[in-house]
């Protein structure tokens, strides 16, 4: 797909009840796509999609991976195809590794990693049968390097890069394309919803997010990147250059990050 025009394309977006996912839904719809919105909070989805007659909502908890086959069947039946799956639902972390309960690490992995994997496995045979499709995966700068307070979150996002890079290679011949999106600071509720050392919501809007890019701008950059068939999209402010530091001067980055809170 190398056109700016998504007219008639069916796009399923998880985490569409707020932040980047909501902005993605608005952007894709503005470019002619039929959108299916998923997240746990049905009321928020209803409010967003209520403005549009042609949008559908499908409330779901991506961490409930046993439900993935039924969820994919239901979603597929809404329009009879899915051209783009945008795995955007995610939860972050605000706690040191030593203080983080294993249960919280598992919860983060279930939502951020196993959720997208379970849905993708169900989608692949259907996408192949329709002649192809695209999987968009919203990871993070934390999918490229780790930082204090983000051990489990960074693990879940690194896992996405490994899994979906491999999937891209496997599914190329089947017409399935993979785009990995690595945002830096985006002005959303991600820090408020992040898990603290008690597994509860952190509750604070951190400095990074407060000063971050508007989700609408982020969504536009993502959709532009998808239209250009990009395999990776790096989006954010100056913080995104840390990815280049990790590649070309990893020791310097490591020294810079020692003990440093990246809030
Ligand atoms: N904002 C940033 O600075 C930033 C930076 C890098 C990466 N990201 C990534 O961007 C993605 C979107 O986050 P955001 O910044 O837009 O934050 P957000 O406003 O907190 O949105 C997170 C979305 O994920 C949904 N979600 C969370 N757990 C879910 C679950 N178990 N099942 C289904 N939906 C679930 C939430 O909806 P419900 O609560 O209704 O389920 C919400 O719609 C995440 O993957 C995040 O890791 C964000």
Q: Is residue 4 part of a domain?
A: no
CB-based contact 19:211 (threshold 8 Å): no
Residue 2, pLDDT > 70, answer: no
Q: Is residue 138 part of a domain?
A: yes
Q: What is the pLDDT of residues 20-49, one digit of tens each?
A: 999 999 999 999 999 999 999 999 999 999
What tokens were used for 184?
A: 């830096």
Q: Is residue 262 part of a domain?
A: no
**How many whole angstroms separate alpha carbon 136 and alpha carbon 169?**
15
Bridge partners of 182, per DSSP, are: 234
Average pLDDT (207-211) is: 94
Q: According to the model, what pLDDT value does residue 223 have?
A: 98
Q: According to the model, what pLDDT value does residue 128 have?
A: 98
Beta-carbon contacts of 56 under 8 Å, excluding residues fewer than 6 positions away, are 34, 35, 36, 37, 49, 78, 79
**How many whole angstroms separate alpha carbon 93 and alpha carbon 91?**
7
Q: Please give the residue range of the domain that contains residue 129.
A: 10-257
Q: What is the pLDDT of residues 248-261, one digit of tens each?
A: 999 999 999 998 87
Q: According to the model, what pLDDT value does residue 259 have?
A: 82
Q: Please tell me the distance between residue 89's alpha carbon and the centre of ligand 1 in angstroms.
A: 4
**Which pLDDT band holds residue 4 (cuts at 50, 70, 90)?**
low
Q: Tell whether ligand 1 has an atom less than 6 A from the beta carbon of residue 116.
A: no
Average pLDDT (56-66) is: 98
Q: According to the model, what pLDDT value does residue 183 have?
A: 98
CATH number of the domain bearing residue 203 = 3.40.50.720
Q: According to the model, what pLDDT value does residue 261 have?
A: 76
Q: Exactly one of 113, 153, 164, 185 is catalytic; name it.
A: 153
Q: Is residue 131 part of a domain?
A: yes
For residue 153, indicate whether it is catalytic. yes
- Percent of the chain with pLDDT strictly greater than 70: 98
Q: According to the model, what pLDDT value does residue 260 have?
A: 80
Q: Is residue 199 part of a domain?
A: yes
Q: What is the pLDDT of residues 172-201, one digit of tens each?
A: 999 999 999 999 999 999 999 999 999 999
Q: Is residue 1 part of a domain?
A: no
Q: Please tell me the distance between residue 88's alpha carbon and the centre of ligand 1 in angstroms.
A: 6
What tokens were used for 124?
A: 């692949």
Looking at the structure of the chain, the number of domains it has is 1
**Which pLDDT band holds residue 262 (cuts at 50, 70, 90)?**
confident
């Amino acid at each position: 797909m190398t056109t700016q025009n998504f007219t008639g394309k069916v796009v399923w977006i998880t985490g569409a009840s707020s932040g980047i996912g909501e902005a993605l839904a608005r952007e894709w719809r503005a470019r002619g796509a039929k959108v299916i919105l998923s997240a746990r909070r049905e009321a928020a989805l209803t409010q967003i999609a209520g403005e549009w007659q042609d949008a559908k909502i499908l409330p779901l908890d991506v961490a409930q991976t046993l439900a993935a086959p039924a969820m994919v069947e239901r979603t597929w039946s809404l329009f009879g195809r899915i051209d783009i799956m945008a795995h955007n639902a995610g939860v972050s972390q605000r706690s040191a590794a030593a203080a983080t309960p294993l249960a919280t690490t598992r919860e983060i992995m279930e939502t951020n990693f196993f959720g997208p994997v379970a849905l993708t496995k169900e989608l692949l045979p259907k996408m192949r049968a329709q002649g192809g499709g695209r999987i968009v995966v919203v990871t993070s700068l934390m999918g490229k390097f780790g930082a204090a307070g983000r051990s489990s979150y960074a693990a879940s996002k690194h896992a996405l890069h490994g899994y979906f890079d491999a999937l891209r290679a496997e599914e190329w011949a089947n017409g399935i394309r993979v785009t990995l999106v690595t945002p830096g600071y985006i002005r959303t509720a991600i820090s408020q919803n992040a898990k603290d050392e008690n597994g509860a919501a952190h509750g604070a809007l951190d400095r990074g997010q407060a000063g971050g890019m508007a989700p609408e701008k982020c969504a536009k950059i993502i959709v532009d990147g998808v239209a250009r068939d990009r395999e990776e999209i790096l989006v954010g402010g100056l913080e995104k250059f840390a990815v280049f530091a990790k590649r070309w001067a990893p020791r310097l980055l490591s020294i810079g990050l020692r003990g440093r809170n990246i809030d």
